[in-house]
Chains A and B, each alone.
Chain A
Amino acid sequence: MRRFRTLALPLVFLLLLGACASSEGDPLAEGTSEESAEATSEEESSSESEPESEEGGESESAPAEGEGGPITVGSTNFSEQLILASMYAQLLENAGVEVEERPNLGNREVVYPAIESGEIDLLPEYTGALATFVNGGEEPEDTSTEGLVSYLGENLPEGLEVLEPSDAQDQDASAVTQETADEFGLTTLSDLAEVCDQLVAGGPAEEETRRVGLPGLEEVYGCTFSEFRALDAGGPLTVEALNSGQIDVGRVFTTQGIIEENGWVVLEDDQGLVPSENIIPLVRSEVLTDDVESILNELSAALTEEDLIELNRRVDIDQEDPADVATSFLEEAGLLS
């Protein structure tokens, strides 16, 4: 019996590996987006007979599709996304649109395939990060807000489109404690570059390979840290590591409430490494009616970066419910009738 088990273990393992290999789609690989988009739109058009899904670019031509069912609003897995998705959902519901919420789905690697396949229809996104993702991990050349929005307009797969960007941005940034800033006289990333080799950086693992992370800091600023520690994306690990001095420079996002809460100093990106990251709704064309479009554009216009910082702070630090925070903002802004 035992002999059988010792032989069976590796066998089962190999079988599992084989099963992974034979499934076509590699969920993590870059550049599979187009293929899966085609595959899913074919599936849909065959099962629901929706020829419109081929004509994704022109939204107004297919408003009727929105009446087929509720609009599913998704989000990734951090507070700001939960707040924004809740705002989208509440505004649409307020206008009489049937809405289903699917918050907290995971990172972009998870939600983007979900919106491509039609599992979700609407998603709060960021201009730079989305354009870079769509471009297979490389930043488009023009990283201004206008440049990125027009890039997205041309390069999103059929059936997906973005609406008007908000002025509010949530950019990747490097933060240090007040003591570190005082000790080395840091206010900009150029200042940081002078002393990078004495400092330890920390952030999510993807910072090691993304251009807005270490590769860009090295290329644009000539900054090479003495060490990099893989932590999380501005989460509890980063807070703990930065405050306890295990790292000197932490990756944060400019709208995070934890920055002010901990008295950190965000270093200015004086050479323009980080692309614009305006909040922008990503939506499936088949659910986009004129009403939906104008409601979401109105919200984007009303939202400021200061609002986001305050709303994030209320959720992350005061532990308020994202939906309640979203409601109170919409009421104050007079967007709910």
Chain B
Amino acid sequence: MHDGAKIAGGLVLFAAVMTSPFWYNALTAAPSAVPAVDPPPNGSKECVEARSYMRANHMDLLNEWREAVVREGERSYVSTTNGRAFEMSLSRTCLDCHANKAEFCDRCHTFMAVAPDCWSCHVEPKEAP
């Protein structure tokens, strides 16, 4: 019954070691910044849908486009936001404005640790010589 101090010290040491990664990151790492998305280099102000919708749901929209184009043969998409018609095409429409895939797609995907495999088949326009 004389080891209370040792036990308490051991517990404190244990807690310190276990939580050390959190302390280490809190004290040293730069605050993790959500990557900013630059406006399209071609100066376009209108996306196919509202910005907030695109940020949250572009993957669903792209899935819908894929089904429509490949399986239904429908290639034209009428925006519910601005009523304009767009071709449902990742390389032609999306990348027409957001020309830099590395900055536009990859930056957020890396931050979110997601790895969509769009580009294992679709060709990034600037890859073409």
Binding partners A and B? no
